Structure 1
Amino acid sequence: MTERKPRADATRNREAVLAAADTLFARCESPESVTMADIAAAAGVGKATLFRGFGDRTGLIHALYELRLAPIRRAAEEGAPPLGPATPPLQRVPALLDAVLCFKLDHRHLALALEGAGGDSPYAAEHYERWHTTLRTALEQLPGLADSGFTAHALLAATRADLVEHLVGRQGATREQLRADLAAYTARVLGAWDGRERP
């Protein structure tokens, strides 16, 4: 049996909904203010279309987040240096974290909406588990690092959307400043595990 392809109008509607949601989250004051009704109106579709296509608001947010994140994830899983798996860990880990941070900066309110959606722990979300696994795998290549799982969690904590929003939205940090601070923090963490003799 051949797999049925989505109807052309269903595909168009899905693309319109995701584009509308993307725009609304980018322009909003707070992600909580973006409703399914707002998205449906901006996309020119009925609310029933949103619920059929995505289940609920959380499902729509997940779909949009995954769509925007996919190119970075492909680069991390299959790509060339500095993100790809062939990159030495001391170069790859900072590059991965910088990519996550830049994504959160570029999609601040979408990332906030995702981290605040539903009652589940953000640490159980598929996207978080994948990033944690990717970082942990890279960290496991560093000699003598016995707590790669915890270290991956600690490093990813520095890229949480609520922290990024606090630093940028409330404290006025610039993109360049945040990237430099994260790079310096990561270097300090990894400096103890670069294969050199430690005191």
Structure 2
Amino acid sequence: MNDELLRILPRPPRERADAARNRTRVLEAAARLFTEGGAEALTVDAVAQAAGVGKGTVFRRFGDKSGLAAALLDQRERELQEAVVFGEPPLGPGAPARERALAFFDAYLAYLADHLDLVRLSETAAPGARFRVGAYAFWHRHLAILCAERPDPEHLAHALLGMAAADLNTELLKQGLGWDRIRAGVSSAVGTLVDPSHSP
């Protein structure tokens, strides 16, 4: 399982020194604008101006707002991905599938709670943005492997990840559910769907 995940584990891009400097300037400017003004402030024009680079530089490297948001989240997601591949069980290898899936959603929902607005922007700034991010492909593959004993693990992995969508959880919070209730609901569903033998 680890070998398959290692093949799709995103790697930091190799780049020229000037490109690396521009990338750093753009991401620092984007982080500052997001902190000061939220998602509305994170436009390609504003980021380019704040970073002192051309708009084309931002477009070529990041595409749109969702690409900028995904890049800002990249390091945090990479840390979680590495914990899944190399970490201690149950998040890392060595625990049963059900326990690993529960540990993953516990860790992912903690990450989502800490970065909800930015994750939401990365997932919704353009149609289908959520599914084009490399991290989504990684999470999906991880869950599909954990669900290998279930009928249609590929579909089940997408359905499970649907519970962690930022847009959905933003709405649930607005309705007053709170993170404790969200975590409990996701945990119950994941545990049952990944291994129905544990159902009450």
The answer to which structure has the higher helix fraction is 2
Equivalences for residues 1-199 of structure 1 within 5 A = 6-7=16-17, 10-26=19-35, 28-29=37-38, 31-43=39-51, 45-51=53-59, 53-120=61-128, 122-140=130-148, 142=149, 145-168=150-173, 170-190=174-194, 192-194=196-198
In 2 relative to 1, CA 193–105 (structure 1 residues): closer, same or farther, beyond 3 Å? same
Contact 1:132 1:152 in 2 (8 A): yes
In terms of mean alpha carbon deviation, does 146-155 or 17-26 score higher? 17-26
* SS in structure 2 of the partner of residue 94 of structure 1: helix
Contact 1:20 1:43 in 2 (8 A): yes
Stretches of 4+ aligned residues off by more than 6 angstroms = none
Kindly provide the CA deviation profile for residues 2-34 of structure 1, in whole angstroms up to 9, marking residues without a partner as x.
Answer: xx8622x543442232233234335545x3552
Contact 1:26 1:109 in 2 (8 A): no
- TM-score when normalising by structure 1: 0.75
- Higher-Rg member (1/2): 1
CA distance in 2 between partners of 1:21 and 1:165 (Å): 22
Shift of 1:160: 0.3
Shift of 1:63: 2.5
Q: CA RMSD in A?
A: 3.0
CA distance in 2 between partners of 1:136 and 1:109 (Å): 27
Letter in 2 for 1:181: G
CA distance in 1 between partners of 2:162 and 2:51 (Å): 34
Aligned pairs, how many? 187
Letter in 2 for 1:69: E
CA distance in 2 between partners of 1:38 and 1:105 (Å): 26
- TM-score when normalising by structure 2: 0.75
List gaps (5 residues or longer) in structure 1: none
